[in-house]
Copies of this chain bind each other. A is one copy, B any other.
Amino acid sequence: MAYVSEKRQEQQCEDVDLSHHISDYARGFRVSPLKGLQKYIGREDMISFSGGMPHPAVFPFADISANILVPDSFSIAPTLTSPPRGALSWLWRLFGYDPSQERTSPIRVSKVPASGDAGLNLATALQYGPATGLAETQRFTHAFSARVFRPARSDFATLVHTGNTDAWGRCARALLNSGDTVLAEEWTYPSALATATPIRIDVLPVPIDGIGMRADKLRALLAGWDDKKGRRPHVMYTVPVGQNPSGATMDLKRKREIYDICVEFDVIIVEDDPYYFLQMDEYVSKDVRAGRAASEGEGDNEAFLGSLAPSYLSIDTQGRVIRLDTFSKTIAPGMRLGWFTCSPLFAERFERVGETSTQSPCGLGQALAMQLLRTWTPDGFVRWLRGLRAQYTARRDFFVDALAGTFELEERVATQGIWEGARVYTAYARPHRGYRMMSEKKSRVPLFEFVPPSAGMFVWIKLNLAASPRHRTDDEEDTLEMQFWTHLADAGVLTAPGWFFSAHIAHDGAEHAEPDFDVEGHLRLSFSLATTDEMERGVKLFEKTLREFFQI
């Protein structure tokens, strides 16, 4: 934390006019027609015949309540214990968690306003509300962003949205015109691509290495931009923590390099950070973990926050970073609730775009989420996040352990490609018992590679399809990647095929005559939902399918 504080003092903020980044579409909104009403709003003596608001007495909810887990429900150490059995085991088979020990506390939101309720009542929450969200949501998000992300500029705004997909959609429409090009990691979140393509935004893949987007490649793409291809990219979409799908996390040094390039070439950075609080220590093998388990989980809330990779906001002296946060991974996806942290300039336009699409997020969801957070207190929420982080760490470790137990893994530091600089594991089939001598040579075919993720929910697998015998004989219509994906699904294991995530495919469009095995042959495996039993069985089935596919 001391480190970040020091930097904050050093930073000189500049006022730069960034309004030329706003799209023709977003310029098309007049300032809210309600603007003229501002001086009258909130005045106790006004009689309002202006809105189309139902009377709260006809809202059929007299109150809503919930039993919420206590903030320290989950250990801050990534403990592995045997899962409970029984009827609910499918749901509760979580590491170190015993549902019979579940501790909850009640919360309640009444329809009737009361002093000290922070506006969390149903008469307000179930009414039409501004696209900026409930007052308490505004207050919480602003205070949380200030504390955790420590924006370099004090004049930042926060604004609710209904999840980072909605948020990126608003960014795309508010910042990009048809024919523009957006920068993104070469492997990226499929919805980000699906948002861009229909509005005729091209996605320019920027190569990545073991910590994410490469600064040198970014510079080369921008410096070498040919204006014949249209406007030079002026917006970047990036997932810098637990990059989806690669799992890489960027350090502050690289962020500074990228930020400086974005200043030089006048690029807006959209920092999509859903996995920010799922940052993990580096994976080490089971044996090593056993030796140091006692020291895990130390430190307090501030130490935890200080251990997280700093946000681009912390070095954004110009207001060119738009950060997207979501409660999807920290409370639940079905909340459909998150927030922008960005300059007031952009926040105002996102509000206008929101007014004609999602409007305000669901009031019931906002009221329950904010009552939960008030009950927990901000420190309770940070404690909850530490428990979550430990849960995901335990899941990652269990999943990678399962891979290590099924395959022979060889470790090396990659010197090129998407994992450059990272510790890569190459997986080989274990020799069949009794066939060791016979099949030794064949079994040493490297089957796939991966890097245990540093955040998030996914292991990104690069299959060695070039070594597959099908590579030479195949004449099926599907790519080899989809053939493997289908074999694995037929064996009973669903995964996400690599092409979903490829900005190269989105960019080039056309099929290649010859497969490019730098692009083709990836799978994303999630460890967030499966039971331990499913992980073990799934990894075995993966191995069996690989053997069949590679004919070893």
Residues of A within 8 A of B (CB): 25-30, 33, 36-37, 40, 45-69, 73-74, 88, 91-92, 94, 97, 99, 102, 104, 111-113, 122-123, 125-129, 162-163, 165-166, 169, 190-191, 194-195, 197-200, 244, 328-329, 331-337, 355-365, 368, 372, 384, 388, 391, 457-458, 482, 489, 492-496, 500, 524-530, 534, 537-538, 541
Contacts and interface: CB of A to CB of B under 8 A. Distances in A.
B127 A29 contact: no
8 contacts: A29-B194, A48-B534, A51-B496, A128-B333, A166-B357, A333-B363, A336-B358, A336-B363
Contacts of A112: 88, 91
Contact of A62 (B67, B331, B357): B67
A66 B65 contact: yes
Contact of A526 (B51, B67, B200, B457): B51
A479 to B, nearest CB: 12
A527 B49 contact: yes
B47 A333 contact: no
A375 to B, nearest CB: 10
B538 A49 contact: yes
Contacts of A458: 52
B334 A165 contact: no
A333 B391 contact: no
A361 B530 CA distance: 25
A482 to B, nearest CB: 8
Q: Which 4 A-B pairs have the closest CB atoms?
A: A334-B363, A28-B198, A362-B362, A126-B334
A372 B198 CA distance: 38
Contacts of A27: 198
A50 B166 contact: no
A337 to B, nearest CB: 7
Nearest to A192: B356
Given A50-B495, A336-B359, 9 more contacts: A33-B194, A52-B244, A54-B529, A59-B332, A61-B372, A128-B333, A335-B364, A363-B365, A364-B365
A165 B165 CA distance: 18
A472 B17 CA distance: 45
B47 A493 contact: yes
* Interface SS of chain A: mixed
A61 B50 contact: no
Contacts of A129: 334
Given A64-B66, A331-B60, A357-B166, A525 B49 contact: yes
Given A334-B127, A334-B362, A337-B362, A60 B68 contact: yes
B528 A198 contact: no
Given A58-B74, A94-B55, A45 B332 contact: no
A73 B496 CA distance: 50
Given A51-B526, A69-B60, A334 B360 contact: yes
A402 to B, nearest CB: 11
Nearest to A40: B489
A491 to B, nearest CB: 9
A458 B527 CA distance: 54
A362 B137 CA distance: 16
B53 A62 contact: no
Chain B CB count within 10 A is highest, among A46, A104, A191, for A46
Contacts of A126: 332-335
B45 A492 contact: yes
A91 B123 contact: yes
Nearest to A56: B91
Contact of A68 (B61, B102, B530): B61
Contacts of A123: 91
Given A335-B363, A360-B336, A62 B68 contact: yes
Chain B CB count within 10 A is highest, among A50, A58, A60, A482, for A60
A550 to B, nearest CB: 20
Given A104-B62, A492-B46, A530-B47, A57 B358 contact: no
A65 B65 contact: yes
B94 A29 contact: no
A528 B52 contact: yes
Contacts of A190: 33
A87 to B, nearest CB: 9
B53 A333 contact: yes
A329 B53 CA distance: 8
A31 to B, nearest CB: 11
A194 B519 CA distance: 43
Given A25-B199, A56-B91, A526 B165 contact: no
A539 to B, nearest CB: 9
